[in-house]
Amino acid sequence: MNSSLAQRDSINDGRTQYSVAELSSLLEAIGRGDRQAFAQFYDATSTRVYGAVLRVLRDRGFTEECVQDVYLEVWQKAPSFSRASGSPSAWLVTMAHRRAIDRVRSEQSRSDRESRYAMLDDALGTPNDASASFLDRRPVMSALGDLSLRQRECLFMAFFEGLTYAEAADRMGIPVSTMKSRIRSALANLRADPGIACLAE
């Protein structure tokens, strides 16, 4: 590696300039279980990792949690790092970006599930008190039986399997808009069923 490339790929932690070779050596030491090397590597790179993750998540709390996950992964995967496979900074930033994207998808999936459960509660008229556990659920099952096979499949995938709209649509081989339309139609049918309406009383 020539000196100009090494200079471009070095990291400055505000106190010390670390070259590619030095960062590689630290990672190799981490791979052998060297905690001091890990602390030094963290000090040298955490500012850059934090910035990369924050650009994706745009939330400081989530970013701090994600950065912790990144460095846990560094500790676990350092033994597999190879100088031949690329620079330490590229290896680290790729890892951080992947973790951030995973966090975005996880939060979106959680938000989708909460929205679907809220829709289902509204459709079924689920009571807010403890009496809900004693309700006869047979009207619900009967109403579900009156739906079309496609509507039931969509509801079960979305509400009971916890799939996102996109995941359920992909499984059925239909557009996401069609999946959402079928679920809305199924919920409308449930709301119109007198057996379901009595649950809210």
pLDDT in tens, 57-112: 888 888 999 999 999 999 999 999 988 878 999 999 999 999 999 888 877 666 66
User: Is the pLDDT at 32 greater than 50, yes or no?
Assistant: yes
User: Is the pLDDT at 136 greater than 50, yes or no?
Assistant: no
pLDDT at 36: 95
pLDDT at 198: 43
What's the mean per-residue pLDDT of the chain?
75
Q: Compute the average pLDDT of residues 158-165.
A: 74
pLDDT > 90 fraction of the chain, expressed in percent and rounded: 32
- Give the pLDDT band (50/70/90) at residue 153: confident
pLDDT at 175: 86
Degrees, nearest 5: CA angle 176-177-181: 115
- Give the pLDDT band (50/70/90) at residue 35: very high
Which of 178 and 17 is assigned the larger pLDDT?
A: 178
User: Domains along the chain?
Assistant: 3-105 (1.10.1740.10), 125-200 (1.10.10.10)
Most confident of 52-61, 101-110, 165-174: 52-61
